[in-house]
Amino acid sequence: VQVFPTSKTIRTIQNKTKQKLFYTDHDIPTAPYSRFAYTDEVKTALKHETLIFPFVWKSAQFGYDGMGVKIVKTYTDLDALPNVECVVEELIPFKNELAVIVARNLNGEIKTYPVVEMEFHPEANQVEYVICPARISKEIATKAELIALKVANAFKHVGLLAVEMFLTHDNEILVNEVAPRPHNSG
């Protein structure tokens, strides 16, 4: 019996470190990042000035819907985090958070749903509003759709894949994360 998504896809997606490496290996735009085996290593990087505040800390595992994600501005913020495998991303100022739902079948036939814009609750860090169509130009929408298609094809994903992205002030699109299922962004 074939099951989708595949276990390989799940292993990659459920670990932020593996997910970021996958994006890098497949030339998928994403925020600049560093990998750490433990949060304590982040402190060492700060002391050696190979990393500076502020940044986004993401637990490598068990993160979802804003859980396991923290904007770190001080050592006090960092001390409150668990000492686990993590990814530290450059804090990217962005205009919008966008998402594209991609549907792909076993034969590789692929379609996208319209690009949506997500607005998040400021404290809960969870999607509060989804605006469709996104309030972006046709050019940006096409760019977002092409990146989402690239992600789905790179995973050889079968089924639905939600691709969440940041739209920067320079109109760059960076993939944030994916969800291999029907999703609240679409």
pLDDT digits (tens, 9 = 90+) for 134-173: 999 999 999 999 999 999 999 999 999 999 999 999 999 9
pLDDT band per the 50, 70, 90 thresholds, residue 184: confident
In tens, the pLDDT along 89-134 reads 999 999 999 999 999 999 999 999 999 999 987 777 778 899 999 9
Topology, domain 33-90:
Dna Ligase; domain 1 (3.30.1490)
Quick check: 49 pLDDT over 70?
yes
pLDDT at position 65, please? 59
In tens, the pLDDT along 5-41 reads 999 999 999 999 999 999 999 999 999 999 999 999 9
Quick check: 64 pLDDT over 70?
no
List, in order, residues 6 or more apart from 160 with CB less than 8 Å away.
101, 102, 103, 180, 181, 182, 183
pLDDT band per the 50, 70, 90 thresholds, residue 66: low
Please state whether 66 falls in left (phi above 0), alpha (psi between -120 and 50) or beta. left
List, in order, residues 6 or more apart from 157 with CB less than 8 Å away.
4, 5, 9, 102, 104, 180
**Residue 109 DSSP symbol:** -
CATH 3.10.580.10 is right for the domain spanning 93-179: no
Percentage above 70 pLDDT, the chain: 97
| Length of the chain as a residue count | 186
Structural domain spans, the chain? 33-90, 93-179
pLDDT at position 44, please? 96
Burial code of 112-147, b = ≥16 C-beta within 10 A, e = fewer?
Answer: bbebbbbeeeeeeeebeeeeeebebeeebbebbbeb
More confident site: 169 or 182: 169
What residue type is 61 in one-letter code? Q
pLDDT at position 24, please? 98
